[in-house]
Amino acid sequence: MTEARRKLIKEKALSLLLSQRISGEYALSFLDLRKITTGGEIMIDSFSDYEKRTSSSLPTDAEGITLKLPSVSIILYDDGVSNDGRRNWTIAHELGHVLLGHSDLTRSNEREADAFAAELLMPEAVIRYLDRRDGEPITPDMMTNYFSASLTACKRRRLNLPYEPNYQPSEDGLELLKRLFAPNE
């Protein structure tokens, strides 16, 4: 993945987060992507609700899929998944496919959707802020207190973002940090 694509992925994920009404240090730990607002271009529903509404059956064993219609994309998730972090990851991954304009499922597109999900659920700016605030890397166990992601996702994200005390966030990253850690200023 090129640096330009990484930057685009971060921008899109942060833009979506900033369009939500979130504030406070633990706001991301309560993020429920089933209720995220996307401006009407994306709908999110469960497999079972979709099947009831359409009187159809979805032939899939995936935890999430995206149906692309001319004016809207419908992200469907397996409501049998009881782990909130895993369900959020599935929805975030599908959001990545839609917002990054993927039209096919290539290995490269899957990696980009995973990178989008990681940035949406566990923004680099927030991880780096917590690292610096505490003077040492935040552990995956501690990350689960701040982010609505599974321990497995937190471990993977921490592995991909080693401690870096001199990190400088983007303008959007700074805005997110302001909302989360200085909401009354």
pLDDT in tens, 113-163: 999 999 999 999 999 999 999 888 999 999 999 999 999 999 999 999 988
Residue 25: is its pLDDT beyond 70?
Answer: yes
pLDDT computed for residue 60 by the predictor: 75
- What amino acid is encoded at 77 in this protein? Y
Predicted structure pTM score: 0.93
State the virtual CA torsion across 152, 157, 163, 164 in degrees, nearest 10.
-170
Residue 185: is its pLDDT beyond 60?
Answer: no
Other Cβ atoms within 10 Å of 154 Cβ, number: 25
